Amino acid sequence: MKLIDTYKQIVKEDKGCPAATQDIDLNLKNTKSLKDAATPNKAFKEYNYGPADPRLDLKIDVDVSSIKFDKNRLYTDSQGEDIFLTEKEIKEKGNYSYWKKLADVYNQESINQSLQMRCGNCAAFVITSEMKACIEKGISDVESSLTEKAGELGYCQFLKFKCAAARTCQSWVGGGPIKDKEVEERKLTKKEKKGLTKLEKDIPMKSFKKQYGTDAEDIYYGTLTNLAKKKY
């Protein structure tokens, strides 16, 4: 598959609505069964999708729905970047074990960097107007209530399910989310295309295959494309 074709597959939604946005059973199969918390699932079991309640790590006056994801650090209009509890406080009453596990995956010394890595700023998080319409059309009452504790729902192009902006997983790639403007401006410059070719030589796909299995190709090319846009 050509690089540009693979990239288009990642950043542009299919014609019509993705099946998981309309089929609640399929979406739960790809994430977590709300009827049976023990049900195996792809996003939770294989990619550590979470945390269950992102609000536990926020300062008491921060509303999860007001968090902005368009900068390197999460913020709100009223609080700026100062929205999280301290690491010590998160150890006592937050999702510390979750963030520590994620930090270990990325070889990070503290959880501070992982706290900034959310679905809402992931390159696979699609919140175009078309996708939002798909999600709204197929949303369940249970999913509607989730936005109160985990933020806006979008569609994950990597794992093929509806995910919440304030959560994250181990397939996170920086550079998102995908909005209407980004879909319209996805042509790469000549310099970026040359950069992609160089990155393909420097970064072998086999390392991605080992970590992501059948999802490796999508995640590999999505990652390299975003790197090329930032680096070149």
Contact 200, 3 (CB under 8 A): yes
pLDDT for res 9: 45
144: confidence class by pLDDT, cuts 50, 70, 90: low
Name the least confident of 3-7, 50-54, 213-217: 3-7
Say how far apart CA 174 and CA 219 lie, in whole Å.
Answer: 11
Per-residue CA distances from 160 to 54, 84, 168 (Å): 21, 29, 14
DSSP 111: S
pLDDT for res 206: 79
Whether the per-residue pLDDT at 4 is higher than 50: the answer is: no
Most trustworthy range by pLDDT among 18-32, 68-82, 194-208: 68-82
pLDDT for res 21: 59
Give me the helices (H) in the chain, please: 3-11, 19-22, 24-30, 47, 87-93, 96-105, 129-138, 141-150, 180-184, 190-202, 206-212, 216-231
pTM, entire model:
0.66
In the sheet that 125-126 helps form, which strands lie side by side, from edge to edge?
125-126, 153-156, 161-164
pLDDT for res 86: 93
In a 3-state reduction of DSSP, which class is residue 180? helix
Most trustworthy range by pLDDT among 15-19, 55-59, 152-156: 55-59
Most trustworthy range by pLDDT among 11-15, 29-33, 194-198, 201-205: 194-198
Give me the half-sphere count of Cα atoms (radius 13 Å) on the Cβ side of residue 141: 0
227 forms bridges with which residues in the sheet? Answer: none
67: confidence class by pLDDT, cuts 50, 70, 90: very high
pLDDT for res 51: 93
pLDDT for res 217: 76
Whether the per-residue pLDDT at 105 is higher than 50: the answer is: yes
Q: Which amino acid is at 196?
A: L
Per-residue CA distances from 101 to 22, 69, 74, 197, 200 (Å): 32, 22, 20, 33, 29
Whether the per-residue pLDDT at 216 is higher than 80: the answer is: no
Instruction: Establish whether the linkage from the previous residue to 177 is cis, with ω within 30° of 0.
Output: yes
Name the least confident of 41-55, 118-132, 146-160, 174-188: 174-188
pLDDT for res 123: 85
The b-or-e profile of 172-204 (16+ CB within 10 A means b, else e) is bbebbbbbeebbeeeebeeebbebbeebeeeee
pLDDT, tens digit, for every residue of 107-140?
Answer: 998 999 999 999 999 988 888 888 888 888 766 6
pLDDT for res 41: 61
Whether the per-residue pLDDT at 1 is higher than 70: the answer is: no
Whether the per-residue pLDDT at 40 is higher than 90: the answer is: no
